[in-house]
Amino acid sequence: MLACHGSESAPTKGSGSALASQQPTAETFDICKVGTDQLAKLACKTPEDARQVMQARSAIEGLIDAARKTPSTDPKQFQVMCAQLVQAIDRDAMRLGCGPRLDDATRLRITGVLDAFYSQRTKVVPTGDPAADAAVKRVAAVRDAACACADLPCLDKLGPQLDEAIAQLPPKAKDLANKLLDDAGRCATRLRSR
């Protein structure tokens, strides 16, 4: 059920680093483009490995193209999606012994975007309804426990608690509870993507 539902310092001016002065700003850095351009250079030891990486890269490029053509796509959410997809292919390439992998600057940028996304937490605010507040408090406790998990068995143990917490949500609690479940889902995704 949980599966359903870093800050990076900018280079300072005058730091003397030619590489730092050439890095795109956060506003212009396109993880999708930079990541897929770098992944296009991958070479693998066997034709089968090369085929697997090529298929994965083609699938990602198709998803990226479709998302770019959707007018309602949230730019931040789009960059998170790209970061997740590019990171997954980079990890598969490492597992298969393909290279070159993403450069360190791109890998750090991706990690920063994903760390910021995964660490988002919805603030629990009182609704004014004691029953709704109690229900939200139970869901928040499960969210916090899920985000504190260090492994998948920990997440699995939370399933019954989550089911109980969301079984009978009062109407005033549903919107906030759903946001808390989104938080728990991000924490679960982070664990599963390691």
Q: Give residue-wise pLDDT tens across range 2-54.
A: 443 333 333 333 333 333 333 334 455 788 888 888 888 889 999 999 898 88
Q: Give residue-wise pLDDT tens across range 75-122.
A: 888 889 899 989 988 888 888 889 888 899 999 999 999 999 999 999
Q: Return phi, psi of residue 188, to 5°.
A: -65, -40
| The model's pTM | 0.70
Q: Where are the alpha helices (DSSP H) in 26-173?
A: 31-39, 47-68, 75-96, 104-118, 130-148, 152-157, 159-166
